[in-house]
């Protein structure tokens, strides 16, 4: 009986070890879990994933920071601008997808992304309807830019002079964000109805959407989960000078496909940035105990390089690294995008304005993604709106102002997974970890039985060495 147990334990140990190695090499359980995740991460009507995509449960907050100009008269005399940061003015974003329709046998889905903003007083420095900000007169700079067309130059000169427009104006935060009636634009609106009489940095963006999207559901390939294929009825943009620059790549930034590899490059199309950007892995993070890959926008995205030459119409008109002239997609307004405080931009942009203090912690755009599920655990999109200003001889309003990229405001749009959602996601991840670790459990059992086998072998050898009482007795007894 003992010998039978001995061989049984040894055989079982060997079988368990061989099985575990085979399972590990073939990645049987890992592939099974990956296939399950790939199959479930699809936008299908009635599923939890679809409901979460249609109406994201996590709260998104947008903080607005303005640059208040403190020396307007000196600036017009050619001196260096001095600004002070005022903010945050915090709004909670209410997001939802509407007009949802499936197409192409469930492989595509069309929708609009609605956004509404609700002011959060307890997270803000003041009342946006009361607090005043002195900043550059964007409508005036816009019409001056339009005056490059000589046909209407004299008309614009006369209007700006007649209405006694100044280069710097003072408005409430609420007016600068959501709009106010502008005298010059109101007059132009009579002749050009497509030009709205009101101006605001987020005018007509509260309770509205940025156009129709067509997304891939991930039905054909999990890598295509929520990838954009069309925006406003177009498969590509038409603002930039090359096909590559005009490509609409990636998702809208609200979701990513599952099973993300660390060396993978992800693409995002933020429509307010007027182009697609890519993000790359930069660090490992842990949010509420959940593992995450931190992805950031590399410096090369806005570098003054041959790869980005197509973003500088007309050809060769690049302002420098770290900024993007988006006037071509903003109705000709001389708007230049950058990261806050000209983070990652050339030193000339930072040193031109007193009050710029770029730093990674406050001004970097990042997204922390759980690599298994593709779920966003934490993110911050940070963009700055600037105006390109220069002295224009026929417009005395510009005085002797220096040619520069002038900061107006920046925003920080952030999201963080709550503890309850993190707990539910952690349960899913833990189940996956247990299943994928089954080969190691089998191997551990094999090692355990191997140790028992070794112990039994040693014990048996010890018994053979000692022998029985008759075997130990002398051959000749007295």
Mean pLDDT of the chain: 87
**Which H helix or E strand runs over 4?**
helix 2-26
pLDDT score at 154: 66
Confidence of residue 398 (pLDDT cuts 50, 70, 90): confident
pLDDT score at 205: 94
Q: What is the mean pLDDT of the segment spanning 270-283?
A: 95
Confidence of residue 20 (pLDDT cuts 50, 70, 90): low
Pairing of strands 208-216, 228-231: antiparallel
Q: Which two tokens stand for residue 138?
A: 């964007």
pLDDT score at 367: 97
Instruction: Give the tens place of pLDDT for each residue, 193-247.
Output: 888 999 999 999 999 999 999 999 999 999 999 999 999 999 999 999 999 999 9
Check pLDDT > 70 for residue 16: no
pLDDT score at 428: 76
Check pLDDT > 60 for residue 478: no
pLDDT score at 399: 86
DSSP string, 256-325: --SS--TT--EEE--GGGTS-EEEEEEEEEEETTEEEEEEE--GGGG-SSGGGGGGSTTTT----TTEEE
Q: Which two tokens stand for residue 270?
A: 């933020």
Confidence of residue 461 (pLDDT cuts 50, 70, 90): low
Model-level pTM greater than 0.95?
no
Name the residue with higher pLDDT: 192 or 289: 289
Task: Read off φ and ψ for residue 37, nearest 5 degrees.
Answer: -65, -45
Check pLDDT > 60 for residue 467: no
Q: What is the mean pLDDT of the segment spanning 416-438?
A: 79
Q: What is the mean pLDDT of the segment spanning 132-140?
A: 95
Strand ranges for 11-151 from DSSP E: 60-69, 83-103, 108-119, 132-136
Instruction: Give the tens place of pLDDT for each residue, 94-117.
Output: 999 999 999 878 899 999 999 999
Query: Are the C-beta atoms of residues 344 and 322 closer than 8 Å to each other?
Result: yes
pLDDT score at 315: 81
- CB contact set of 182 (below 8 Å; sequence gap of 6+): 139, 197, 198, 199
pLDDT score at 23: 54
pLDDT score at 434: 66
CA distance 43 to 49: 6
Comparing 135-139, 142-146, 152-156, 328-332, which segment has the lowest mean pLDDT?
A: 152-156
């Amino acid at each position: 009986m003992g010998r039978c147990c001995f061989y049984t334990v040894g055989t079982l140990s060997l079988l368990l070890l061989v099985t575990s190695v085979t399972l590990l090499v073939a990645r049987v359980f890992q592939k099974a879990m990956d296939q399950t995740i790939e199959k479930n991460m699809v936008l299908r009507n009635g599923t939890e994933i679809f409901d979460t995509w249609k109406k994201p449960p996590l709260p998104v907050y947008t903080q607005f920071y303005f640059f208040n100009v403190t020396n307007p008269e000196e600036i017009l005399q050619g001196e260096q601008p001095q600004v002070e940061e005022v903010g945050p003015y915090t709004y909670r974003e209410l997001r939802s997808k509407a007009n949802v329709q499936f197409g192409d046998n469930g492989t595509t889905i069309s929708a609009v992304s609605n956004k509404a903003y609700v002011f959060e007083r307890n997270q803000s420095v003041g009342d946006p309807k009361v607090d005043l900000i002195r900043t550059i007169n964007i409508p005036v700079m816009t019409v001056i830019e339009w005056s490059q067309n000589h046909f209407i130059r004299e008309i614009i000169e006369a209007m700006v002079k007649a209405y006694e427009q100044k280069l710097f104006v003072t408005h409430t935060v609420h007016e600068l964000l959501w709009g106010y009636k502008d005298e010059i634009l109101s007059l132009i609106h009579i002749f050009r109805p497509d030009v709205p009489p009101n101006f605001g940095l987020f005018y007509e963006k509260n309770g509205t959407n940025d156009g129709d999207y067509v997304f891939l559901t991930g039905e054909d390939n999990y890598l295509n989960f929520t990838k954009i294929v069309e925006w406003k009825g177009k498969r590509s943009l038409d603002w930039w000078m090359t096909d590559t620059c005009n490509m609409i790549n990636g998702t809208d930034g609200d979701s990513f496909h599952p099973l993300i590899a660390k060396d993978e490059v992800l693409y995002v199309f933020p429509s307010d940035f007027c182009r697609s950007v890519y993000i790359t892995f930069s660090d490992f993070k842990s949010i509420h105990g959940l593992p995450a890959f931190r992805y950031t926008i590399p410096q090369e995205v806005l570098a003054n390089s041959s790869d980005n030459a197509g973003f500088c119409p007309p050809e060769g008109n690049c302002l420098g690294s770290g900024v993007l002239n988006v006037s071509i997609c903003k109705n000709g307004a001389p708007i230049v995008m950058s990261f806050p405080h000209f983070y990652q931009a050339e030193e000339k942009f930072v040193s031109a304005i007193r009050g710029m203090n770029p730093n990674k912690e406050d001004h970097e755009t990042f997204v922390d993604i759980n690599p298994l599920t593709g779920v966003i655990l934490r993110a911050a999109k940070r963009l700055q709106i600037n105006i390109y200003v220069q002295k224009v001889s026929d417009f005395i309003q510009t005085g002797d102002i220096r040619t520069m990229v002038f900061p107006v405001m920046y925003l920080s749009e952030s999201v963080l997974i709550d503890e309850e959602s993190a707990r539910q996601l952690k349960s899913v991840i833990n189940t996956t970890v247990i299943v994928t670790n089954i080969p190691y459990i089998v191997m551990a059992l094999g090692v355990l039985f191997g140790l028992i086998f070794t112990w039994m072998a040693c014990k048996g050898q010890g018994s053979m060495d000692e022998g029985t009482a008759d075997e130990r007795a002398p051959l000749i007894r007295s």
